[in-house]
Amino acid sequence: MPERPSAGRADLEEAILRAAEAEFAEKGFEGATTAAIAARAGLPKANLHYYVATKEALYRRVVEGVLAAWLDAARGFDAAPTAVEALTRYIEGKMDLARDRPLGSRIFAREVMSGAPVIRDFLDTTLSAWVRERGAIVEGWVADGQLRPLDPKVLFYMIWAATQHYADFAHQITALNGGVPLDDAGFAAAKRQVVATLLGGVLAPRPDDMAAIPA
């Protein structure tokens, strides 16, 4: 087994995956070229092909990583006693994910807009089950008076939309921020406002709950 000094096999595959993620996020599956991915990873095109069979297989691997990160962030919803805590944790987790891994979100968005050719199965099975189960929990919160009457799915859509917007539309946000990307303080403020607005919009209007919303 050859032991290269700078790049072992694992490091190379990691570099390829990161390069592919960036290219797919920016250009889309059709727009991305294997040559550009290889160049970004720092190796010739033919060498990239030694590690991944086809462009589609590479894309599929990248997407799998995206879905794994999504599911991981979605666990922030569970194991919280109250609606306020669960929603706050979940929204903040998704905001952080949008901030830290925006590329994955863009790949996901492109996938869905193209009719979800690769992740259709994920939508029909894993995500459907997730929404069904957590939807039941949300309905429980409505029943016991924590939340105003609402359709859980519409709430989830709002959370996903509001949070992923900071990944998918980061360029637009930058443009409307005077051309400079949101700094950490600006993003933290946005996160607070997103949480406050969503919670304020769905929590049953009881004074003690209103007080629990961060300013």
Footprint of DNA on this chain (CB under 7 A)?
Answer: 1-4, 7, 9, 12, 32-36, 43-47, 49-51, 53-56
Q: Around Cβ 45, how many Cβ atoms within 10 Å?
A: 13
Q: Which is nearer to DNA, 25 or 203 (CB)?
A: 25
Of the candidate residues 55, 94, 106, 134, the single one contacting its own copies (CB under 8 A): 106
Q: ∠ CA 12-16-20 to the nearest 5 degrees? A: 170
Of the candidate residues 44, 140, 181, 201, the single one contacting its own copies (CB under 8 A): 201
Cα gap 118→141, rounded to integer Å: 34
Minimum separation from the CB atom of position 83 to its own copies (A): 14
Cα gap 136→133, rounded to integer Å: 5
| DSSP secondary structure code for residue 123 in this structure | I
Hey, what amino acid is at 115? G
Q: Percentages helix, strand, coil for the chain, rounded to the nearest 5? A: 75, 0, 25
Spell out the long-range contacts of 209-212 with Cβ–Cβ below 8 A and sequence spacing 24 or more.
Answer: 209/84, 209/146, 212/84
Cα gap 145→140, rounded to integer Å: 9
In the shown chain, the binding pattern of residues 161 to 200 toward its own copies, with x for contact by CB under 8 A and - for none, equals xx-xxx-xx-xxx-xxx-x---------xx--xx-xxxxx
Residues in 4-63 that interact with its own copies by CB under 8 A: 25-31
Q: Which is nearer to DNA, 35 or 154 (CB)?
A: 35
User: How many of the chain's residues bind its own copies (CB under 8 A)?
Assistant: 59
Question: Which partner from the list its own copies, DNA, none does 49 bind, CB cut-off 5 to 8 Å by kind?
Answer: DNA
Q: Which residues bind its own copies (CB under 8 A)?
A: 25-31, 106, 109-110, 112-116, 120, 123-124, 127-128, 131, 148-151, 153-155, 157-158, 160-162, 164-166, 168-169, 171-173, 175-177, 179, 189-190, 193-194, 196-202, 205, 210, 215
